């Protein structure tokens, strides 16, 4: 999608502070971090929301979480703990309509969220 900012980042059209990349997944630091570590993990293929996933995407969603766990170790936040978040649609807090997992850590997370 040419109008999707995350698709453009995944295609290398817009620079990012990339921390991980493979054939299916890209991870980069959030430009407006909400924690000392705030990384976005995205599929390279455009999927607008969680509601748009198919059964065939289950492995991809698992891969997003696996990458987040590897990055948490790499960033030194795995032992203390971290949060992963997938927002869906406006009431869920989604602002970019390309599926993305937030990896947040490096500080105490409050609950309830939001």
Question: What pLDDT sits at residue 75?
Answer: 98
Active-site entry in 38, 65, 98, 100? 100
- Tell whether the model's pLDDT for residue 2 goes beyond 90: no
The model's pLDDT over 86-108, given as tens digits with 9 standing for 90+, comes to: 999 999 999 999 999 999 999 99
Buried b (16+ CB within 10 A) or exposed e, 4-32: eebbebbeeeeebeebeeeeebbbbebee
If pLDDT is split at 50, 70 and 90, which confidence band does 1 have?
low
CA distance 44 to 60: 10
Predicted confidence (pLDDT) per residue in 41-68, tens digit: 999 999 999 999 999 999 999 999 999 9
98 is catalytic: no
């Amino acid at each position: 999608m040419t109008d999707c900012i995350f698709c453009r980042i995944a295609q290398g059209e817009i620079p990012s502070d990339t921390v991980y990349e493979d054939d299916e997944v890209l991870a980069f630091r959030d430009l407006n971090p909400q924690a000392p570590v705030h990384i976005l993990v995205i599929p390279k293929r455009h999927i607008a929301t969680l509601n748009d996933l198919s059964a065939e995407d289950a492995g991809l969603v698992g891969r997003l979480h696996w990458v987040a766990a590897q990055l948490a170790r790499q960033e030194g936040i795995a032992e203390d703990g971290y949060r992963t978040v997938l927002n869906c649609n406006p009431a869920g807090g989604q602002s970019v309509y390309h599926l993305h997992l937030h990896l947040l850590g490096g500080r105490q997370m409050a609950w309830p969220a939001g």
